[in-house]
Structure 1
Amino acid sequence: MTDAADLTVRLIRCPSVTPEEAGALVLLADLLKDAGFEVHRVDRNGTPNLFARWGARGARSFGFNGHTDVVPPGDLGSWTHPPFSGHVEDGTIWGRGATDMKSGVAAFVAAAVDFVTETPPDGAVILTITGDEEGPGRDGTRALLDWMAEKGERMDVCIVGEPTNPELMGEMMKIGRRGSVTFRIAAQGVQGHAAYPHRARNPLHALTRYLNDLIAAPLDQGTAHFDPSGLQITSIDCGNPASNVIPERASAVVNIRFNDLHSGASLTRDLTERAQSVSEETGVTLTVEADISGEAFLTEPGPFVDLVRGVVREETGRDPELSTSGGTSDARFVKDHCPVVEFGLVGRFMHQVDERVPVAEIQQLQTIYRRILERFFT
């Protein structure tokens, strides 16, 4: 049996802070080749990615997706054990990536290797592993999916192994995610003396009026599988050091996490139209730029969701909540390729100093993934 916990330790010892590969994908590629997987490096614009398939191209296939890149460790002196030591103590593995998500990758790689070695399926198992999930996300899973389309590779369904459980294994699986869009609003006015406002046009007055209108009422009340959309003002700035000068320019940043009642395009139209209205009324020119990092999506409950949920229930004794909460993940890209759900470890220590994971949870996750593969192919 492949030891997913030991593999987690070896991956943690690769300091693969985005976008550095640091040997993590090489380690996995060697392991998968030895198990009979066809392995390809699919690097794009300096971003490292790995594709591996066991079985025939075009056969019925089950996919896993994950990442080996990690966020920076921060102040090294704040860690109880060095962040890339993979220290093991009292049944717990310590290190950056222990939770998010080298353990998840180790669990599905180990499960896949054991499954195809011990009970070769009538079909294919595909693994897509990126080094760009914690970064911009432009050349990671997107690059892998583009490469797969060019080569005629296909996953029928996919699990993304991100941490999904708030406190206990089996509490939650993700069947969708909210969309995310960031707006940068620029206000162009006319500079002037604060004592003579009639000779100026204050961009801050127009901008704050606009922002107040955005937060005056909720965007929606939520839907069957999604909470209400949320709008947050994250920055307001004018760069003005003088208290007696009306500034010429001001700017703001707004982030919206939205449900399936909206799209990035519909929200962009709405905020742009509101900006135009304020511009006409105030004489201050407001412009809106949008950066859409992901659209809201939902994998409808059905056979695939039921399969994953059933195995999790049997192995943990808990009936996982079907959730769409949290931030974004690479599932937002996979959903354009095939039905996708997310299930992984407890995520309470991810991105924290002293990130850590119990060995027993990794082993349990490996068993869950193995059981899912067995059930899918039988």
Structure 2
Amino acid sequence: MNARLLHLIQSALFVAILGAPMAAAYWGLEPPDILATENRTLAEIPGLSLFFTDPVHGVSRLKAAFADRFPLRQTLIRAGNRLRLAVFGESPVSGVIVGRQGWLYYSLENALNDHLNVMNLPPILQDDMVRTLVERRDRLAARGIAFYVLVPPDKHTVYPEFLPPYVRVLRPRSRLDILKERLADAGIAILDVRDELARAKTVRRAYWKTDTHWNDWGAFTAAKKLIDTLRARFPDIPPLCENDFDVVETVVPGGDLAGMLMLPDLLPETDIRLIPRDPNAFGQRAVFGAPRPYADPANHPERAMVVAETGERGLPKALFFRDSFSSAMIPFLAGRFQSAVFLWTHAYHPDIVAAERPDVVVLEVVERYQYAFCLENPPEPSWPGAVSPTPPGF
């Protein structure tokens, strides 16, 4: 074979390899998009005018857009991910740990380091957290408002037995162990639901296998602990009872961790749902969506404020500052207050407290986000018509 013919064959193969994805997309051979969307905004194809005004930037943006939108891109990524999982048993994504028996774990945002107990929590930081939360409690108490802190544990904490064998706790005490002791000594009502979840998981699975979050059963367990605690101060709140719900199990596509692997359809699991037997029973009824006279601090379409009202004047009003772990608790909590406002933020907003005038404020912070306890308290606004005196520091 002469050199010219060899070069022609090589060129033809090169063109074929590059052109195959284009041809597959053109002829409709690419599988339909059944995947969870990527947790980021894909690069957009730049307008033609940009190539005249700023050609370097235009080419850069076109390159990024092509990399994000290359035909068969998802198919090729999925194939590579499946191969690494099947052959090597390893995660192809840095933020996901492949555990045993189909369990996946989240390793970003210090979730794994927190489980290993290697996160730094020096005394000066502990002091700062305690000072901030004590100041917040005292401000609220001056207005007759109760304050509670709820810390949902990460999945690693509740289900360590399915982690890979190489994941071993390196220190005996976790950040939550240390901080719980400090806050309790300072008189902060902190709800640690680790023991409740340890009991709950002996009944049925309390967390998703392919998601970072707890399922309905885990959320119900934490909500019950919160309601039982609040009933000591607000006895008219209806109790939360397991017998008021039916347990429904359905096989569904995998959760957010399976989505990070781009394999939710290939990593399904059983969704455990708790459905009220009587949706109109006292403690279940709530009307959602009443407008509020302030901006939603989250300012994000997927983290919108949730407002639930029952109109039951004998029940307290509640304000929640929270993260994604409260989402599954909202159906269990909404009907147990005269009004309940759930704000997806850990930052304290005294102006919203003044607008809502709640009877109780709950700060929910998942275990890996404990640094949120360092968020300072903004200045307190005036409360027209308020009868409680303003204590020093407001």
Using the size of structure 1 for normalisation, the TM-score is 0.29
Q: Select the structure that is richer in strand.
A: 1
Richer in helix (by share): 2
Larger radius of gyration: 2
TM-score by length of 2: 0.29
Structure with higher RCO (Cα < 8 A, 6+ apart): 1
